[in-house]
């Protein structure tokens, strides 16, 4: 182990290493085929333990993560997937249902004690605002989740092709939790990736004013 490198990386205002930037962004690819190599529960917990520190509006952290791992749970999920997503999801060691809790107000006494009372009163009167807040912050948290999984050496296969209503009924009945997207997790088969799709150039997506 090269401890001098670790110390160098820990200096303030310093970028993380080029190899790490590759791992989390540049060479990471959405995987659609999976090696037969399990993901231990401790590693799923480690993803959450990292990503939960990412910022959200007023620290509401509305995202919820239900990891579908067992054969029984996979069988409940399978018919709710678009046909094109079934084979890869059944083969993945784990599939996260990334969701948001519309009742995030109930967690505010812990998460935002000073604002909890006034924020909860506002949200109770304004369910559209609660939904907007939940979706916006859960979206950020979904991004943190994917990066955290990659940072821990996993590959991701995020998917939107499934029945949100079906998943909510099967997995979240009796709660206000709503599915947002799915994310297969495991160790992918690198040769299975599609050719990389284009991205917008800086001037197409950004402006400096």
> Which of 4, 83, 125, 174 is in the footprint of a copy of itself by CB under 8 A?
4
165 binds a copy of itself, rule: CB under 8 A? no
Structure token digits, residue 139: 């979206």
83 binds a copy of itself, rule: CB under 8 A? no
Q: List the interface residues with a copy of itself, window 127-156 (CB under 8 A).
A: 133, 135-144, 146-148, 151-154, 156
Please give the torsion angle defined by the CA atoms of residues 140, 77, 164 and 58, in that order, rounded to the nearest 10 degrees: -30
DSSP states of 127-190? HHHHHHHHHHHHHHHHHHHHHHHHHTT-EEEEE--B-HHHHHHHHSTTS-EEEEEEEEEE-B-G
Minimum Å distance from CB 168 to a copy of itself?
Answer: 15
91 binds a copy of itself, rule: CB under 8 A? no
CB distance 167 to 77 below 8 Å: yes
Distance CA 41, CA 38 (A): 9
17 binds a copy of itself, rule: CB under 8 A? yes
39 binds a copy of itself, rule: CB under 8 A? no
66 binds a copy of itself, rule: CB under 8 A? yes
30 binds a copy of itself, rule: CB under 8 A? yes
206 binds a copy of itself, rule: CB under 8 A? yes
């Amino acid at each position: 182990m090269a401890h001098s490198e670790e110390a160098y990386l820990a200096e303030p205002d310093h970028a993380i290493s080029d190899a790490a930037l590759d791992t989390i962004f540049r060479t990471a690819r959405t995987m659609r085929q999976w090696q037969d190599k399990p993901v231990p529960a401790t590693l799923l917990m480690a993803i959450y333990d990292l990503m939960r520190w990412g910022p959200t509006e007023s620290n509401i952290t509305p995202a919820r993560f239900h990891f579908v791992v067992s054969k029984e749970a996979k069988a409940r999920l399978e018919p709710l997937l678009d046909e094109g997503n079934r084979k890869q999801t059944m083969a993945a060691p784990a599939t996260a249902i990334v969701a948001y809790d519309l009742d995030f107000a109930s967690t505010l006494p812990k998460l935002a004690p000073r604002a909890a009372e006034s924020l909860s009163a506002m949200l109770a009167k304004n369910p559209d605002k609660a939904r907007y807040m939940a979706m916006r912050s859960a979206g950020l948290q979904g991004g943190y989740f994917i990066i955290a999984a990659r940072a821990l050496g996993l590959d991701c296969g995020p998917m939107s092709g499934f029945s949100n209503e079906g998943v909510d009924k099967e997995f979240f009945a009796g709660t206000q939790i709503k599915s947002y997207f799915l994310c297969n997790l495991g160790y992918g088969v690198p040769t299975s990736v599609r050719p990389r799709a284009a991205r917008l150039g800086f001037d197409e997506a950004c402006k400096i004013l």
